[in-house]
């Protein structure tokens, strides 16, 4: 017990070599688990009806010189992930195994980034615990193999969080620009990230007593850099589609999927009756009509729509106790492990948040909660599935690890820094 206590207290020291060793360990563990899962499922049949197939199709068209083209659609999906795949294919050929290896590396780096941004809000030990949990979290381990964009997106999101907090700690406009570029790339992977400037702005207002006057300049740099990162793609869409589409045309279609007489709250791809998809050639019309008809349905069915919002919140955050039918043993085991981690995260997360709420600088640690709430809104307004909450689970893990930290302090009588890093924005490192 004494040796364990000594090691846990060692996790809170500031020795650079120890820090690098811990971060390297998180990366190695995360990469090893992801590569092992990829090897376990190597040879499994590839799907030709899900998002990964179409991402790969766009990537192949890019390296073949056909431009950003799915079948006939030219802006149905956000572009960053297909461009990443195209880069991999240009080096390794159209090799899905190579793409999975690259995503495993990004997934492992997500754990490192999680440790780096969390310890800027809390302690180094909480940062290491969060990074390790992200490294071993079953769904995060699984997704590089599936070739969905989640692994790449989570890396960009957590890298952006690291740079964000670093920018405010240093009061650095230059780092703010890097933050905005990173969040811009994340938005070009998943559009929900477009809300980050507004989320950060609300956070600054809530915790304004903890920030210097230069924080406003840093925020402006973040927002401006993010806009200018997304803007070239928006201009490209205008030139190609002859209409304003910030990132992708699927937003209007998704809005209609979630707001029509047959909507269930779950993915059920459909268009407005009378609109022809034509392999995506009519994507702009489908996008416009989807927004129009979705809004009309909401106006005519306000009470029902509000009721479905609560249902969608449940569908988004429900425990993974379903969907075991027709799964292979390995995938079913991973899903069950996900359930175990989900219960662990929910329980300790509630405990950790309650403890943080009593802290003097509690407004500082509301940023992860704001991200979770705001990122949930687009799925409540359209449709949802548990896959869409995966990036938000990374923020929930932060609160869970605070709960673990508080329990360890109570049981093992640990000597430790304050649980919230109240002086981080005064330039004091952690």
Tens-place pLDDT, residues 54-82: 999 999 999 999 999 999 999 999 999 99
Say what the pLDDT of residue 111 is.
97
What is the C-alpha to C-alpha distance for residues 180 and 189, in angstroms, rounded to an integer?
Answer: 14
pLDDT of amino acid 429: 47
Give pTM, 2 decimals. 0.94
The distance between the two most distant Cα atoms of the chain, rounded to a whole number of Å, is 71
State the DSSP string of 26-42.
HHHHHHHHHHHHHHHTT
Torsion angle of the four alpha carbons 267, 273, 274, 278, in this order, in degrees rounded to the nearest 10? 10
Distance of CA 291 to the CA centre of its chain: 25
pLDDT at residue 360, rounded to an integer: 72
The pLDDT of residue 10 is: 67
Let me know how long the chain is: 430
CB of 245 closer than 8 Å to CB of 75: yes
What's the gap between Cα 54 and its chain centre?
Answer: 20
Residue 214 pLDDT: 85
**Gap between the terminal Cα atoms of the chain:** 27
Dist. CA 44–CA 259, nearest whole Å:
36
Q: What is the pLDDT of residue 419?
A: 73
Task: Tell me which residues of the chain have a pLDDT lower than 50.
Answer: 427-430
Q: How far apart are CA 54 and CA 77, in angstroms?
A: 9
How big is the CA angle at 22 (ends 18 and 24), to the nearest 5 degrees?
115
Question: Cβ(58)–Cβ(80) under 8 Å?
Answer: no
- What pLDDT was estimated at residue 428? 43
């Amino acid at each position: 017990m004494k040796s364990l206590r000594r090691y846990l207290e060692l996790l809170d020291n500031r020795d650079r070599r120890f820090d690098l060793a811990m971060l390297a360990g998180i990366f190695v563990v995360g990469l090893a688990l992801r590569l092992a899962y990829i090897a376990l499922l190597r040879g499994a049949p590839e799907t030709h009806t899900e998002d990964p197939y179409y991402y790969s199709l766009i990537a192949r068209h890019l390296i073949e010189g056909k431009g950003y083209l799915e079948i006939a659609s030219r802006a149905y999906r956000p572009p960053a992930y297909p461009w990443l795949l195209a880069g991999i294919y240009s080096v390794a050929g159209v090799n899905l195994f190579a793409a999975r290896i690259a995503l495993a590396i990004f997934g492992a780096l997500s754990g490192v980034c999680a440790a780096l941004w969390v310890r800027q809000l809390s302690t180094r030990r909480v940062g290491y615990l969060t990074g390790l949990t992200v490294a071993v979290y079953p769904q995060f381990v699984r997704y590089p193999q599936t070739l969905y964009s989640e692994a790449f997106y989570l890396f960009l999101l957590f890298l952006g969080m690291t740079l964000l907090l670093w920018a405010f700690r240093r009061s650095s406009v230059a780092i703010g620009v890097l933050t905005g570029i990173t969040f811009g790339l994340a938005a070009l992977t998943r559009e929900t990230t477009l809300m980050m400037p507004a989320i950060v702005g609300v956070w600054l207002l809530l915790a304004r007593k903890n920030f210097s006057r230069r924080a406003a300049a840093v925020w402006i740099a973040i927002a401006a850099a993010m806009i200018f990162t997304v803007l070239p793609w928006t201009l490209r869409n205008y030139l190609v589609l002859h209409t304003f589409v910030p990132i992708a045309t699927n937003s209007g279609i998704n809005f209609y999927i979630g707001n029509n007489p047959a909507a269930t709250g779950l993915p059920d791809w459909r268009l407005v009756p009378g609109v022809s998809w034509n392999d995506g050639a009519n994507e702009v019309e489908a996008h416009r009509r989807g927004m129009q008809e979705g809004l009309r349905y909401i106006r005519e069915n306000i009470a029902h729509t509000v009721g479905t919002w609560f249902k969608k919140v449940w569908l988004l955050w429900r425990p993974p106790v379903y969907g075991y039918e027709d799964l292979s043993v390995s995938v079913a085991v991973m899903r069950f492990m996900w359930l175990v981690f989900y219960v662990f995260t929910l329980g300790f997360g509630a405990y950790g948040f309650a403890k943080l709420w009593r802290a003097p600088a509690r407004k500082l640690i509301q940023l992860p909660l704001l991200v979770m709430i705001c990122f949930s809104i687009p799925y409540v307004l359209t449709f949802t599935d548990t896959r869409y909450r995966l990036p938000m689970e990374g923020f929930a893990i932060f609160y869970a690890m605070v709960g673990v930290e508080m329990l360890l302090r109570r049981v093992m009588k640990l000597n430790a820094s304050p649980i919230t890093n109240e002086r981080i924005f005064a330039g004091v490192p952690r």
